[in-house]
């Protein structure tokens, strides 16, 4: 793989940095990838090779590329970190992903030492990221360097990430409006960021199990002129870790000399995070967990992720107070539509049973126990 033609340009109301990916082992036309934002934040967006190497490394490993040849200078610390990432992928995939060579001249030093930069995080609108933002506000004083000042909302993940589903910019704008309400209450800037890096390989298993954390990191690295730290909220707690695209043994190894990437709150179970969000009314009423992206509702209330979140809110006594769902109860028959035992979801349901039982949701408890028994 060659990563070349790094550039920065403004097209209308969008500033974007991009690169050309030329495949060497895969029979595929060169692909143009980009990371973009609005002009207000465009001055801090840099066509840094660090970002595009991190963004492309998982597809390169997946398709058996023997090297990544970079048109530009790469942070030597990041290059060293990526050796660890490749070793981890080799282990996780039982040897299917083989480490490749990274060919690039080294950067001599950090580029932004003299700049006053900020701490940021990714804000999807889900329970993990909302809890992480709330805990940052509760635990860090405003004068601290790790106090979050920027939240990044991404187009190109669940919204606009899958090519055949379309860009769905209207869904993204709806999500942005709700997250802007949260951002105002938390006193952070909300930065909309757009990327098509997922399109390098739109394989769902690769995306979920290996790839999406690297794309988060790529976006963060492209904004290292603005950010010295970016937090990624944990998907799983420390007691239930499995290989995942975002992982406490993976995300920090996408850090460079310019940017620290942290995997946050891995000590907390999902139900602990639900309790945190339940005590923040603005977040509770604007949370966005649904991946169905239906036309007329923020959350469909019927998909697995919606039902799981609604059960969790019921377990902590917050579902009836939550305006993000039109329903204030969960019908056990909703479980007919999906399997709760795939992709390591069982722990999320097991931890709900005690709270649901205590609050009298016996029919839900019986259905969850029955579904878990099918594993």
Look at residue 112 in the predicted model and tell me its pLDDT.
86
Task: Looking at 210-298, list the stretches that DSSP marks H as alpha helix, in order from N- to C-terminal side.
Answer: 212-222, 270-278, 281-284
292-314 pLDDT, tens per residue? 888 889 999 999 999 999 999 99
Handedness of CA 79, 83, 88, 90 (dihedral sign): positive
Look at residue 55 in the predicted model and tell me its pLDDT.
98
Look at residue 166 in the predicted model and tell me its pLDDT.
77
Domain boundaries 118-264, corresponding CATH code: 3.40.50
Contacting residues for 91 by C-beta, under 8 A, at least 6 apart: none
Look at residue 160 in the predicted model and tell me its pLDDT.
85
Q: Which residues in the chain are classed under CATH 3.40.50?
A: 118-264
The answer, yes or no, to whether residue 79 has pLDDT greater than 80, is yes
Q: Hey, what are 204's tokens?
A: 């769902």
Q: Hey, what are 332's tokens?
A: 């056990």
Structure-model confidence comparison of residues 171 and 322, the more confident one: 322
Cα–Cα distance for residue pair 370/105, rounded to 1 Å: 57
Look at residue 329 in the predicted model and tell me its pLDDT.
95
DSSP state of 16: E
114-134 pLDDT, tens per residue? 789 999 999 999 999 999 999
**CB 30 within 8 Å of CB 196:** no
What average pLDDT does the segment 236-242 reach?
96
254-305 pLDDT, tens per residue? 999 999 999 999 999 999 999 999 999 999 999 999 988 888 899 999 999 9
The answer, yes or no, to whether residue 12 has pLDDT greater than 90, is no
Q: How many helices (H) and strands (E) does the chain have?
A: 13, 10
**Which H helix or E strand runs over 101?**
strand 101-106
Look at residue 91 in the predicted model and tell me its pLDDT.
97
The pTM (predicted TM-score) of the whole model is 0.96
Task: Looking at the chain, list the stretches that DSSP marks H as alpha helix, in order from N- to C-terminal side.
Answer: 39-42, 49-62, 76-92, 127-139, 169-186, 204-206, 212-222, 270-278, 281-284, 304-315, 346-350, 353-358, 362-372
**CB 172 within 8 Å of CB 159:** yes
Cα–Cα distance for residue pair 138/371, rounded to 1 Å: 37
Cα–Cα distance for residue pair 232/122, rounded to 1 Å: 6
The answer, yes or no, to whether residue 161 has pLDDT greater than 90, is no
The answer, yes or no, to whether residue 149 has pLDDT greater than 80, is yes
174-225 pLDDT, tens per residue? 999 999 999 999 999 999 999 999 999 989 999 999 999 999 999 999 999 9
What average pLDDT does the segment 351-370 reach?
97
* Nearest of 29, 89, 52, 41 to residue 197 by alpha carbon: 52
Scan for tokens 């850090």, then name that residue.
255
List the Cα angle 263/106/29 in 5-degree steps. 80
What is the rounded average pLDDT for all residues in the chain?
A: 96
Look at residue 375 in the predicted model and tell me its pLDDT.
65
């Amino acid at each position: 793989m060659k990563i070349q033609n790094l550039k920065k340009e403004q097209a209308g109301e969008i500033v974007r940095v991009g690169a050309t990916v030329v495949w060497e082992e895969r029979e595929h036309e060169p692909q143009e990838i980009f990371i973009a934002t609005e002009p207000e934040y465009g001055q801090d967006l840099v066509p840094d090779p660090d970002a595009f190497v991190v963004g492309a490394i998982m597809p390169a490993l997946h398709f058996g590329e023997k090297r990544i040849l970079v048109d530009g200078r790469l942070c030597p610390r990041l290059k060293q970190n990526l050796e660890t990432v490749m070793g981890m992928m080799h282990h996780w995939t039982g040897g299917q992903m083989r480490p490749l060579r990274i060919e690039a001249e080294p950067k001599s030093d950090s580029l932004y030492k003299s700049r006053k930069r900020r701490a940021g995080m990714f804000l999807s609108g889900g329970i993990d990221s909302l809890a992480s933002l709330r805990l940052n506000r509760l635990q860090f004083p405003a004068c601290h360097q790790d106090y979050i000042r920027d939240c990044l909302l991404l187009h190109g993940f669940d919204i606009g990430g899958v090519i055949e589903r379309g860009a769905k910019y209207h869904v993204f704008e709806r999500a942005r409006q709700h997250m802007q309400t949260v951002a105002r209450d938390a006193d952070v800037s909300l930065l909309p960021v757009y990327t098509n890096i997922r399109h390098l390989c739109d394989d769902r298993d690769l995306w979920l199990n290996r790839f999406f954390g690297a794309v988060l990191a790529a976006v963060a690295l492209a904004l290292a002129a603005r950010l010295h730290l970016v937090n990624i909220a944990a998907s799983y707690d420390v007691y239930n870790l499995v290989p995942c695209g975002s992982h406490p043994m993976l995300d920090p190894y996408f850090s460079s000399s310019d940017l620290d990437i942290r995997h946050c709150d891995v000590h907390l179970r999902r139900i602990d995070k639900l309790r945190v969000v339940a005590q923040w009314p603005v977040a509770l009423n604007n949370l966005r967990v649904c991946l169905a992206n239906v036309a007329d509702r923020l959350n469909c209330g019927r998909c697995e992720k919606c039902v799981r979140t609604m059960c969790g809110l019921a377990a902590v006594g917050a579902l009836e107070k939550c305006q993000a769902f039109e329903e204030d109860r969960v019908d056990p028959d909703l479980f007919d539509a999906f399997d709760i035992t795939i992709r390591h979801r069982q722990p999320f349901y097991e931890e709900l049973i005690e709270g649901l039982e205590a609050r009298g949701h016996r029919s839900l408890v019986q259905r969850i126990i029955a579904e878990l028994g099918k594993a």
